Amino acid sequence: MGGRNGTFTNEMVNFLGMKERSYGNVQIQIILSNYASKQIKEKMGQVLKKIKEHENGINEGNCRIGFPDLAVLPPEISLCVLSHLNATDLCLAACVWGELAQDQILWQSLCQSQWGYASIYSRLKDCCDFSYHHLYLQLDEGTVTFNADAFMGMDYFIKHELIDDNPKEIAHFIYSTRTLNIRQKRLYLNSRRDVLSHLIGMHNFSNQFLPQALRRFFESLQAPNELDNYLHFLLEKFSARFCQCNPKLQLSTDMVYILCFSLIMLSVDLTSPHIKNKMSKREFIRNVRYAIHRADDELYGHMYDDVYLRGHIAPNSGD
């Protein structure tokens, strides 16, 4: 686009393209490339004009005029601005822009960003008068309860029909929710091995180096402080899943299980301040080769280097 229109487009790109502007306590970031249609570009031009007028409007006290009223902007622009707010700020915005801040799509997005999956989502498709704002408050209350007491929290989710009472649905919810307290989650899963089995089956370890896959596994499922039955169960399920995701490696479940334990013990040895004589790479390779009766010194050496350079495989965040 050339001439006058080209100049106008360049001004819009420079003003709105990838820059972030502040008006009072509200920040907006509008990317022109998100609006491809001619109709939206025309509306953006109108918005640009209004924003420039507000930006240049300085009163006698040399103070900026406040951020433009979202109610007078096109709905798609107003909702784009509000979509950058968290739940607390959106509730505050509702005091000024009630209908906009109560938009179903905004609250649905907030729900699914924190709770990626819940059984109730599939039942809402046929509900016309359901409030995602109300659902957010319920999910948030259930999460707070779970983080204090996992069993009470899960009872809350099930009682309010947010999650169906079956192991697969519970596992899917836990897998998709990042705000659950990791210690409470461990206590719950330790007593619900059926849920834990489904949960481990949802992890994808394809094309991952074993130490890194194990480290990421324990980031989501806290390792216990002791070598107890729960840890054995975790490693058994992890080993089976790792082999399932990486059939080309031709590793048996028992071999992966032994390697996992070897890596955990190596982690303790290298990171513990109480152990003065650290295990060498040669010792680790010799011990692993003896344990699994398979000579692959290069692989075992890389595993040692990974733990030595990246740290503990299964750090416990503490009780």
- Return the half-sphere exposure (C-beta side, CA atoms, 13 A cut-off) of residue 3: 2
User: What is the pTM assigned to this prediction?
Assistant: 0.71
In three-state secondary structure terms, 9 is helix
- Report CA torsion sign: 123, 125, 130, 136: positive
Distance between CA 183 and CA 180 in Å, rounded? 9
Instruction: Look at residue 47 in the predicted model and tell me its pLDDT.
Output: 55
Distances (CA, A) of 221 to 97, 125, 172: 41, 32, 14
Q: Say how many residues make up the chain.
A: 319
- Return the half-sphere exposure (C-beta side, CA atoms, 13 A cut-off) of residue 216: 12
Instruction: Look at residue 48 in the predicted model and tell me its pLDDT.
Output: 54
Element (H, E) at 47: helix 38-56
Instruction: Look at residue 123 in the predicted model and tell me its pLDDT.
Output: 83
Q: Kindly report, residue by residue over 123-142, the tens digit of the pLDDT.
A: 876 666 778 888 999 999 99
Angle between helices 75-82 and 38-56 (to 10 degrees): 70
Question: Could you say which residues of the chain have pLDDT below 50?
Answer: 1-37, 58-62, 317
